[in-house]
């Protein structure tokens, strides 16, 4: 059985080249082939303004030619395939996830608006692809707040203790093992706790913050136990902090090698694929590459 490739989406932009480099190293770590894909937004005959810049030979793709030139002579280059496609990238790229183990793209490509922190292609791929999607941000993103980091490579994973996602934990542990990195599992709990009272109702007893934090940590450690057994070489640390989960994860992304988050599971009343608000915020603001892991399909 052949190994599924790591796909790098390129478009001639610096964002695409950063995604290419990340995908190249990911393919090496997985001993997997690399597939470089360029999706041309329009066919040469579809728009008059695109006609002048279009190559005379429809099989010629200057973006892929540029990538070939950049990779030529690189040491330890995995088996590499170049594919040119035509169509709307936001529709074509997610479909590629069915034939890949990982899809990597930049945070905003050549066609994005200047003010956007994340392009529509990245959002569509993270929401709809069947494989994990890694979005590589532009360098220099400012991150406010701080989380304990320490020396050496570090992978960060978000864990929601009242609805844990085993796919996220499994991917995070495996990636930390490949990188030889520490795994920092981030659990946030809301604080201060709010209680809504009706007129005349007595206020509930005061909530013990230390107890909430200890309970959160105990639940997290329970979910991590089987993954620690499968990956004894990965040093996994639980970081429990009060506040908004997105803010805590973004703060933890500073100097991290990767942040791993999940995608919303399909619900009975919301059957379409969705990106949760936490994942959306992390994609917009994290300083490190972000991996969005789809949930496992429900068993019949």
The pTM (predicted TM-score) of the whole model is: 0.84
- Other C-beta atoms lying within 10 Å of the C-beta of residue 143: 18
Cβ-count burial 186-198 (b if 16+ within 10 Å, e if not): bbbbeeeeeeeee
**pLDDT of res. 60:** 79
**pLDDT of res. 41:** 78
**pLDDT of res. 50:** 38
**pLDDT of res. 235:** 95
**pLDDT of res. 98:** 94
Residues of the chain with pLDDT under 50: 44-58, 112-117, 197, 266-271, 300
Could you give all domains of the chain from N- to C-terminal order, each with its CATH number? Answer: 6-136 (3.40.50.620), 154-293 (3.40.50.12370)
Q: How much of the chain is helix, strand and coil, in % rounded to 5?
A: 35, 20, 45
| Separation of alpha carbons 173 and 176, rounded Å | 5
**pLDDT of res. 199:** 65
**pLDDT of res. 263:** 87
**pLDDT of res. 277:** 85
**pLDDT of res. 230:** 96
């Amino acid at each position: 059985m052949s190994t599924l490739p790591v796909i790098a989406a390129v478009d001639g932009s610096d964002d695409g080249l950063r995604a290419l480099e990340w995908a190249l190293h990911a393919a090496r770590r997985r001993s997997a082939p690399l597939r470089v894909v360029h999706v041309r937004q329009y066919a040469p005959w579809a728009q008059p303004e695109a006609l002048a810049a279009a190559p005379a030979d429809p099989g010629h793709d200057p973006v892929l030619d540029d990538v070939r030139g950049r990779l030529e002579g690189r040491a330890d280059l995995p088996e590499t395939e170049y594919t040119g496609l035509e169509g709307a990238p936001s529709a074509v790229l997610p479909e590629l996830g069915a034939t890949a183990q990982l899809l990597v793209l930049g945070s905003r490509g050549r066609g994005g608006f200047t003010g956007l922190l994340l392009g529509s292609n990245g959002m569509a791929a993270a929401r709809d692809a069947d494989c994990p999607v890694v979005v590589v941000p532009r360098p220099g993103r400012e991150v406010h707040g701080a989380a304990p980091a320490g020396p050496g490579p570090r992978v960060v994973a978000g864990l929601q203790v009242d609805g844990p996602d085993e796919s996220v934990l499994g991917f995070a542990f495996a990636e930390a093992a490949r990188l030889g990195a520490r795994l920092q599992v981030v659990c946030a709990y809301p604080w201060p706790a709010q209680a809504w009272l009706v007129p005349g109702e007595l206020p509930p007893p005061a909530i013990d913050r230390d107890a909430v934090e200890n309970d959160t940590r105990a639940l997290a450690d329970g979910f991590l136990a089987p993954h620690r057994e499968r990956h004894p070489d990965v040093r996994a640390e639980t970081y429990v902090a009060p506040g908004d989960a997105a803010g805590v994860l973004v703060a933890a992304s500073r100097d991290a090698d990767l942040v791993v988050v999940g995608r919303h599971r399909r619900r009975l009343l919301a059957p379409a694929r969705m990106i949760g608000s936490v994942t959306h915020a992390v994609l917009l603001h994290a300083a490190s590459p972000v991996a969005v892991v789809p949930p496992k399909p429900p068993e019949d």
